[in-house]
């Protein structure tokens, strides 16, 4: 820790987080470490265990990334893609398609954020059914305890407490949006069930909901392949995603996977791009997929929508056009920079590294955090994306009272122990407990994950003791 002579202004000029406070500010980053200024003091050597919001792949201050960005800036000229496109957007789309299972995708659209990507996916889904002359297919299925973004359309297909205040401005969710159960083995799989049994039960419940709502009026089924902040990295039970794919085929629904947080190399067992490849065969690929986060590794702002051949063909044989678009969609600079970053990740086998190192980190967390009596109830995740859920009692899985904000408390303690994590509150109704998420850079080493685990364990123990002293645990 090093002190800074700078004085933090009392007033904030940004409209975010706590409005009248500056709050912590990142001032530097190198590799897997960041420096954060808080209350006028700079804290160096913070191990970045979350890379913002599961965004980072290359780590910070990567010299080759800077070269890629400079080259992209020098060679890019802005154009509005609906009128004049650019080569970089084509090349990035070609890269993503060719590095996904053969036949999975045949086109891509690039935008500025994960929320935008899901918003665009909804527009594409709607137009697809119009192209097929089926205008009554308007309903959208998504899961309880889900989160798909901050824009109003993306919020409309999300089901979590953060969305509820905005209900008056969302779609008519009583008519358009259909909620199905989440896949949350830790809380909802019965002790008498195997993973496969639980998956079959979920599929049967989903099929009943589809039938009850008339398949001829349903447009798409949207799920996060591996949930992020909404639920805390619950892996899909065996057979679950395949079962959903089969239902979409059976009832002529579009299968939409949201991989904004978990995709683009973070959770692929083969060192490839898509999380679903660990659960589905190429023939069961989603019809449409949203991506973001690690696509630009935090160096630039980019996300995207991947289009399967079924959707592309319907457009080509229909109107063969998409009317309108975002001003900065398929931005040449963003696409060129993202392509260079993805080529570097592929060349250096960094997606395979994060899967292997991340899996090792998860194993170590289970072995250490769960070894003693503390507030950790579950450790779960895949590859480079993990969560710890906090509970009052491991046997009953009783969550902490919502007002205690245990997830946020844990984040603060981790910061004092020089570790950055995402701390999330539980749901007020107790359907999900407080949790902390980890999503480190793809470049992490064995030493890095050992240090992450060490700092997590220390923080869990400290918060456990604090809550015990308060009579909360």
Rounded to whole angstroms, the Cα distance separating 135 from 75 reads 43
Q: Is the pLDDT of residue 343 over 60?
A: yes
Tell me if residue 374 falls in helix, strand or coil: coil
Q: Is the pLDDT of residue 37 over 70?
A: yes
List pLDDT tens digits, range 196-225: 999 999 999 999 999 999 999 999 999 999
Res. 36 pLDDT band, cuts 50 70 90:
very high
Q: Is the pLDDT of residue 3 over 60?
A: no
* pLDDT at residue number 355: 98
What class, spelled out in words, does domain 67-347 have in CATH? alpha beta
Least confident of 13-22, 220-229, 279-288, 346-355: 13-22
* pLDDT at residue number 17: 86
Q: Is the pLDDT of residue 4 over 70?
A: no
Rounded to whole angstroms, the Cα distance separating 78 from 190 reads 55
Supply 143's token pair.
Answer: 């899961």
* pLDDT at residue number 5: 47
Query: Closest Cα to residue 108, out of 311, 356, 361?
Result: 311
Res. 318 pLDDT band, cuts 50 70 90:
very high
Average pLDDT of 413-418?
A: 98
- Rounded mean pLDDT of the chain? 96
Least confident of 19-23, 82-86, 103-107, 330-334: 19-23
Least confident of 17-21, 39-43, 249-253, 436-440: 17-21
Kindly tell me the burial class for residue 373, based on how many C-beta atoms sit within 10 Å of its own C-beta (0-12, 13-18, 19 or more).
exposed
Q: What is the CA radius of gyration of the chain?
A: 22
Query: Closest Cα to residue 122, out of 331, 387, 311?
Result: 311
Longest dimension (CA), the chain: 68
CATH code 3.90.1150.10 region(s) in the chain: 350-469
Q: Is the pLDDT of residue 2 over 50?
A: no
* pLDDT at residue number 11: 84
Q: Is the pLDDT of residue 326 over 60?
A: yes
What class, spelled out in words, does domain 350-469 have in CATH? alpha beta
Average pLDDT of 99-109?
A: 98
Query: Closest Cα to residue 115, out of 180, 166, 175?
Result: 166
Are the C-beta atoms of residues 381 and 407 closer than 8 Å to each other?
no
Average pLDDT of 98-119?
A: 98
- Give, for 306, the enclosing helix (H) or strand (E): strand 303-307
Average pLDDT of 420-446?
A: 96
Tell me if residue 105 falls in helix, strand or coil: coil
List pLDDT tens digits, range 238-284: 999 999 999 999 999 999 999 999 999 999 999 999 999 999 999 99
Rounded to whole angstroms, the Cα distance separating 341 from 346 reads 9
Average pLDDT of 374-382?
A: 98
Q: Which long-range contacts (CB under 8 A, 24 or more apart) does 101-104 make?
A: 101/274, 101/277, 101/282, 101/285, 102/282, 103/282, 103/283, 103/285, 103/309, 104/274, 104/282, 104/285, 104/286, 104/306, 104/308
**Which DSSP state fits 172?**
-
* pLDDT at residue number 7: 52
Rounded to whole angstroms, the Cα distance separating 261 from 50 reads 11
* pLDDT at residue number 9: 53
Rounded to whole angstroms, the Cα distance separating 128 from 102 reads 22
Res. 393 pLDDT band, cuts 50 70 90:
very high
CATH code 3.40.640.10 region(s) in the chain: 67-347
* pLDDT at residue number 1: 45
First to last CA, the chain: 32
* pLDDT at residue number 192: 97
Q: Is the pLDDT of residue 10 over 70?
A: no
């Amino acid at each position: 820790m090093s002190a800074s002579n700078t004085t933090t202004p009392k007033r904030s000029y940004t409209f975010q987080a706590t409005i009248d406070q500056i709050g912590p500010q990142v001032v530097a980053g190198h590799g897997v470490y960041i420096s954060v200024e808080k209350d006028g003091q700079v804290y160096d050597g913070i191990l970045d265990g979350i890379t913002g919001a599961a965004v980072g792949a290359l780590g910070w201050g990567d010299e080759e990334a800077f070269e890629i960005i400079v080259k992209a800036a020098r060679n890019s000229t802005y154009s509005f893609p609906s009128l004049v496109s650019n080569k970089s957007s084509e090349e990035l789309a070609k890269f993503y398609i060719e590095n996904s299972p053969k036949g999975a995708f045949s086109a891509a659209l690039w935008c500025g954020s994960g929320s935008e990507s899901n918003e665009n996916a909804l527009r594409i889904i709607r137009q697809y059914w119009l192209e097929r002359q089926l205008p009554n297919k308007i309903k959208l299925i998504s899961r309880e305890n889900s989160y798909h973004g901050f824009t109003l359309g993306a919020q409309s297909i999300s089901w979590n407490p953060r969305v509820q205040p905005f209900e008056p401005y969302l779609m008519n969710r009583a008519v358009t949006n259909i909620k199905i159960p989440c896949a949350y083995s830790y809380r909802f799989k019965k002790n008498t069930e195997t993973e496969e049994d639980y998956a079959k039960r979920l599929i049967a419940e989903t099929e009943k909901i589809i039938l009850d709502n008339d398949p001829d009026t349903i447009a798409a089924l949207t799920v996060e392949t591996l949930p992020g902040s909404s639920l805390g990295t619950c892996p899909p039970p065996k057979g679950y995603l395949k079962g959903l794919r089969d239902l979409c085929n059976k009832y002529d629904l579009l299968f939409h996977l949201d991989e904004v947080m978990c995709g683009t190399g973070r959770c692929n067992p083969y060192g490839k791009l898509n999380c679903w490849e660990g659960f589905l065969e190429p023939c069961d690929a989603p019809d449409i997929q949203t991506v973001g986060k690690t696509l630009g590794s935090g160096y630039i702002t980019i996300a995207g929508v991947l289009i399967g051949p079924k959707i592309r063909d319907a457009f080509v044989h229909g109107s063969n056009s998409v009317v309108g678009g975002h001003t900065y969609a398929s931005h040449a600079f963003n696409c060129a920079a993202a392509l260079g970053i993805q080529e570097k990740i592929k060349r250096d086998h960094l997606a395979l590294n994060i899967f292997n190192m991340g899996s090792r980190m998860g194993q170590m967390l289970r072995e250490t955090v769960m070894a003693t009596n503390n507030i950790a109830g579950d450790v779960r995740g895949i590859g480079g994306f993990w969560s710890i859920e906090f509970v009052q009692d491991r046997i009953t899985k009783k969550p902490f009272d919502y007002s205690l904000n245990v997830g946020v408390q844990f984040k603060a303690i981790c910061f004092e122990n020089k570790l950055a994590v995402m701390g999330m509150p539980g749901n007020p109704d107790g359907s999900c407990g407080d949790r902390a998420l980890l999503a480190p850079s793809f470049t992490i080493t064995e030493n890095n994950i050992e240090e992450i685990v060490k700092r997590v364990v220390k923080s869990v123990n400290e918060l456990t003791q604090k809550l015990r002293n308060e009579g909360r645990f």
